[in-house]
Structure 1
Amino acid sequence: MTEHLAFMRTRISEVLTYRFELLFQLINPLLQLLLLAAVWRAVYAGKSDVDGVSVSTMTTYVTLSTLHTLLMHDQIVHWVEQRVRSGAVGIDLVRPIPLLRQQILSQASQVAVKVPMMAVVFPVAVVTTGLVAPAAPGLYALSTLLGWLINCCVLLLIAAVAFWTLELGGMTFLYYVVSQFLSGALVPLWFMPGWLRTAVEWLPLQATVFTPVAIYLGKDGWGGIGVQAMWLVLLGAAVVLVWRRALHRVVVQGG
């Protein structure tokens, strides 16, 4: 346990070293929040609701989806890519903490930094867009945790590709572009065409943002939790298998 805490402290220090990047990560969701709120208010154009979704529900959705997107943003893919490319992963392999567990602790360390950032964004979000009360606070907290774990698994699977290709820039960019849409961060699944919504509802990305927010608003419940749990088990098993395989591909470069 002491080793784990020491490792997390080191990772937190590394994250805090790049203060300009942290400032950008703080400004970006604030701008996204304000722009999305303005866009959706324009879409409603004075209407009380659209397709049964009220303007207050929509602005709350925008606020929470932006906060969840900030929570899900993670540097683990970049870290793993750099460690593999430089050969520093060889040092990681001889640490007393297994390599995969190191990555999970790194992700947790980033959350420890993100929580204070969210505390700064949240009051601004409430003042500018408003926020309705949660329908089921406990269920929402559970769904948020499951969504974060699913996001961790997806990123760990992408990061593992570095052991085969050494270059993940294009893949990472494509993932973040696609995930913004499929997670429901930009457009709620409510407004998607029926066939597309059905498909997206069974994909893992929507479980990271849309499902927790929908549960907060009372538009989903244990069914959404069940889908999240299913994806967490499947993706968790895939992460273990892929990373076990990836360790056999390690080639230490540099010196």
Structure 2
Amino acid sequence: MSAWALERWSFVDNRIRTVFAYRVDILAWLVGIALHLVLMVTLWRAVYAGRPVVDGVPLAVMTTYASIAALQALLNNDDTVDWLTERIRDGKVGADLARPVGLLQQQVCGQAAQLVMKVPMIVLVGLVAMLAVGVSAPAAPGAFLLSTALGWAVNCCLGLLLAATAFWTLETDGTMFLYFVLSGLLSGALVPLWVMPSWLGGLLSWLPWQAVVYTPVSIYIGRLSGSAMWSAIGVQALWAAVLAGLVVLVWRRAVHRVVVQGG
């Protein structure tokens, strides 16, 4: 492994070790995944009220969508904003800026560490869900994995843009809460876009948030297939590239706003 790769892997490894040092938190996180999934499935079963099909969508398809959407949302949930805000608030960001690896790259390594840590757990919960809830297998496994990877990249960029606000505000709790509520709706994690009014669903289908959850899950259940599927994946790739460029520009300006507090 090259020196460049070793430097960045050290950050990934350090974040993984830090997370696994708190085993009770990992257990609570796993229980949270299971409860979230069960609650979403129970909600949609209540909405269907015993009917096998509503508006042409079978209950089995909707429960599969709800289950995979819950796992996708949790896969894309990380602590980038909280971690950076804390570092800026207590002055540790000064030491981070002095490291040989740039601060932005450190954040990306942290996001990669959480991905490495979460994937095995989510796969385990997903397999249990297939047996317990009746979740079907993906309609297009390869395209689903590609779409999931692009969705993760888009979400990472959105998280980095949100985290950059900490350089100006020093306090992100309110912003984080508002973003969490809105992103759940805009991404299709709570309600599929096809359930929304056609004008609203059409608008949201071109925004970056849908790329995080709605597109990969729609590919999973087969609602997006053929040319429509590849067009949706193309939109994901476009948003990932645009947002990555925007992240670089914003962070170059943000680091000049650093005010070291504490010792």
* TM-score, normalization by structure 2: 0.93
Supply the distance in 2 between the matched residues of 1:137 and 1:93 (Cα, whole angstroms). 41
Match of 1:6 among 6, 10, 19: 10
Shift of 1:18: 3.0
Per the TM alignment, residue 200 of structure 1 is displaced from its structure 2 partner at its CA by 1.2
Q: Which residue of 2 aligns with 1:107?
A: 111
1:29 deviates by 2.0
Partner of 1:67: 71
Sequence identity (%)? 54
For these two proteins, the number of residue pairs brought into alignment is 255
Does residue 43 of structure 2 align to residue 43 of structure 1? no
SS for the counterpart of 1:47 is coil
Task: Name the aligned partner's letter for residue 179 of structure 2.
Answer: Y
Give 1:69's aligned amino acid: A
Partner of 1:218: 222
Query: What is the Cα deviation at residue 197 of structure 1?
Result: 0.6
Residues 216 and 233 of structure 1: is their aligned pair in 2 closer, same or farther, counting only changes over 3 Å? same
- How much does 1:237 deviate? 1.1
Segment drifting more, 141-150 vs 91-100: 91-100
Query: Are residue 135 (structure 1) and residue 139 (structure 2) matched?
Result: yes
Q: CA deviation at 1:116?
A: 2.6
1:119-143 Cα deviation digits (max 9, x unpaired): 3312331123212222211111110
Whole-angstrom CA distance in 1 between matches of 2:18 and 2:206: 36
Where does 1:80-95 land on structure 2 (aligned, <5 Å)? 80-95=84-99
Letter in 1 for 2:126: F
Q: Which stretch of structure 1 is more off in the superposition, 15-24 or 180-189?
A: 15-24
Deviation at 1:194, TM superposition (A): 1.0
Q: Is the 2:40–2:70 Cα contact (8 Å) retained in structure 1? A: no
Question: Is 1:118–2:122 an aligned residue pair?
Answer: yes
The separation in 2 between residues aligned to 1:179 and 1:90, in whole angstroms, is: 31
Task: Report the 3-state secondary structure (helix = DSSP H, G, I; strand = E; otherwise coil) of the residue aligned with 1:187.
Answer: coil
> With structure 1 as the length reference, what TM-score do the two structures score?
0.96
Q: Which blocks of at least 5 consecutive residues in structure 2 are unaligned?
A: none
Of the three residues 154, 157, 178, the one matched with 1:153 is 157
Q: Tell me the residue number matched to 1:186.
A: 190
When the two chains are superposed, the root-mean-square deviation of aligned CA atoms in Å is: 1.3
Q: Quote the Cα distance in structure 1 between the aligned partners of 2:209 and 2:23.
A: 29
Query: Could you tell me which residue of structure 1 aligns to residue 259 of structure 2?
Result: 251
Partner in structure 2 of residue 199 of structure 1: 203
Matched, 1:163 2:167: yes
Q: Secondary structure at the match of 1:20?
A: helix
In the alignment, the residues of structure 1 paired with residue 254 and residue 212 of structure 2 have an alpha-carbon distance, to the nearest angstrom, of: 25
Contact 1:29–1:70 (CA<8 Å) still a contact in 2? yes
Alpha-carbon distance in 1 for matches of 2:86, 2:196: 38
Matches of 2:195 and 2:147 in 1, distance apart? Answer: 22
Bigger shift: residues 33-42 or 22-31: 22-31
Separation in 2 of the partners of 1:174 and 1:50? Answer: 31
Q: Helix, strand or coil for the counterpart of 1:115?
A: helix
Q: 2-side partners of 1:175 and 1:18: how far apart?
A: 27
Stretches of structure 1 that go unaligned for 5 or more consecutive residues are none
Secondary structure of the structure 1 residue equivalent to 2:63: helix
Q: Partner residue of 2:240? A: 232
User: Partner amino acid for 2:104?
Assistant: L
Report if the CA contact (8 A) 1:34-1:128 is conserved.
no
Q: Could you tell me which amino acid in structure 1 is paired with residue 81 of structure 2?
A: V
Return the offset for 1:190. Answer: 1.4
